[in-house]
Structure 1
Amino acid sequence: MELIIINILNILFWILGIYLLINCLYLAFFAIAGLFSLPKSQKHASEYKKIALLFPTYRENSVIIESVKSALKHQYNGLFEVVVISDGLLPQTNAILKEMGANVIEVFFEKSTKGKALRFAMEKLKHNGFDIAMVLDVDNVLGSDCLHYINNSFQQGNKVIQVHRTAKDVDTSFAFLDACNEEVNNQIYRKGHAVVGLSATLIGSGMAFDFSYFHKVLDGVGETVGEDKKIDFILANDKIKVAYLNDVFVYDEKVENAQVFTNQRTRWIASQIEFLKEYALEGLVKLFKGNIEFFNKTFQTFLVPRILLLALLFIMAVQSFFNPIGPGSVFWNSLFLSLCFTLLIAVPRRFYVDKRLYLAILQIPRAMIGMVIALFSIGKAKKSFMVTPHHHKPVNDNN
């Protein structure tokens, strides 16, 4: 009986090892691909499309005023309009935004979601002659000539674009860690994918769409907590490629402490599990029909979130020195070190000369704990709109 139990445990450990190996290989492949260059974005064009800058806003009365003020100052040779989708803003905030020149669309939902807010606004705007809809978070600031680059990319035939979202100036070591995490995501899921000819993964902001197509896409988003991931699947099903402009920036605030990090990741993990359940089988079917993009999106839902993966591999590496069952210490230590190497090459080189990076590394254990808490709190994301709080911060335009 004891031998049977040992054999079962041995098989389970090997299954876990192979699963985590696949995780590491996937991340390493795209991190290495991301080391190669993409063509330089162009900003000159023969015509200029009309752009709607959409700011879905949930009870963020101070930040949205500063973001709109910045957006209205953006230089663009064509027409653009700043549209604030006001969910729970104070009447005086709405009045200030209108005086500034923003188009304020008020929404009232029993259960708020970003997808529903965007759908309502697009319906209101559909006869206003817009060619492009760009979605921005409440704290986002456009980089120099951002709209010119987007306009040019659409003229080249793209229907969906993700620009490079990067951190504003950060105040805490935890925020710097989050900024590093954002850039690792950019390297693996956006630039790395674009280099090998796959679609970039949408982030939820800094993304631009053909207006008519986006209006159609939003019909299928519903009340999910992960509207960007849902749109990713819709695009993959429609075989619409997401272009990535690595050298075009939108600046974004990063989370400052472990509690906000945990709440944000709770929402992200909940959406990942939601789409894993919904698309696991369909992704395999699509693969056999030749839709690699859809299968790739599905495959990503099987991946362990990186901070959890790092923690799990560390635990497995330690236990391998005492536990003879399953893969040996060479296997587990190789996986752990390979993941560390993957993360190191995915962090931009400019971060290594910043002493805040080494303080941020000390925050990794807190981030790991936050991810574990998030994993056991995903039920909250289905019951409430877990918004991430924002504060107005200056932009450190050093990219």
Structure 2
Amino acid sequence: MAAKKKEKVILAYSGGLDTTAIIPWLKETYGYDVVCVCADCGQGNELDGLEERAKASGATKLYIEDITDDFCDNYVVPCVQAHAVYENKYLLGTSMARPAIAKRLVDIARKEGATAICHGATGKGNDQIRFELAFKALAPDIRVIAPWRDPNWKLQSREDEEEYCKKHGINLPFSHSNSYSRDRNLWHLSHEGLELEDPSKEPNYKHMLVLGVTPQEAPDKETDVTMTFEKGVPKTVNGKKMKVSDIIRTLNELGAKNGVGIIDIVENRVVGMKSRGVYETPGGTILYEAHQQLEELILDRDTYALKQEMGNKLAQIVYEGKWFTPLREAVQAFIESTQQYVTGEVHFKLYKGNIIKAGTTSPYSLYNQDIASFTTGDMYDHTDASGFINLFGLSLKVRALKMQEVDEKAKKSKKTATKKK
């Protein structure tokens, strides 16, 4: 009689300590064949040696899936077009990547006939929500395993995980003790832990920064950059046409050497606690700013105002892991409708952490010099403003007159009462 075929679990695999320890744990605890999937979103040399490490840890197979262009074109671009920024600072680097990764995990689960998907996100963070909401939307029939919330998971610290790996003959090429907890993709690099856990302490930037330098250490020289956009999508940098992922790579290099895009933020996680992190987003910061500079010329006042609200809403949606929802689709549809004429050229200078405007042009610019100039032109008569102001301020005037009437009545009533005394 043939042996019963083992069920498969898809593990979202980074090759770090957590997911390395999870491989033997899944085999021991649930008897699964573990298929690891590493989604490459542009994290560079972090992928080196992954296949050897996964196999040595007990995985039956490793997929390394390059989803960089999908990530940039279908997740990053909509957020740039919306100017989606969480709590006025965070450019959603991790948040945007999670639904792209989750979608690929589901694709591989279907291909492999897996009955479960496992992730290594902790029970305190946002990623557990982002992954699992995506799984619910895309694969409601597949079981989700989250070891850090599983009662069978007895490893309560990084030290426990390291010891567990050693007992299973897994040699780790890294140690957690003197490093930050990092998340990297083409868009950004985040840092948490060590001195950042105390908000009163200054970040140790010399030890921390990987992509670039602080503004103080940046060259005392401006870097000129010119970009073009078509319908809100970046197309060229300094005259060279590139796909979006290569534009981000180019801007990362330019921004990093000029100290652009470093933020220190205490953010409010979805689960209710505050967390502190330092984010390096050099190219993303430039891309957001360049796109916004162009939009200032093109969008009318009312559309621009509503789009700001929708941008904030999209940031909340993405941060909370609600990418695969009708609400995200509806908000994105509005954003896309505003981008029809966001086409033109943006020129700026990078200098010690700053992005300095140096001229913006568009064939769809609503800026009209004949109207805006201090010199009176044919299209605008200064005297027209009188009637406009009278109507625009009518409600204020009506209220003020009413309050005067009320005050006068109160004064008369007070005088009458005094005389009677």
When the two structures are superposed, what TM-score results if normalisation uses the length of structure 1?
0.27
* Higher RCO (CA-CA < 8 Å; seq separation 6+): 1
Report the structure number with the largest CA radius of gyration: 2
TM-score, normalised relative to structure 2: 0.26
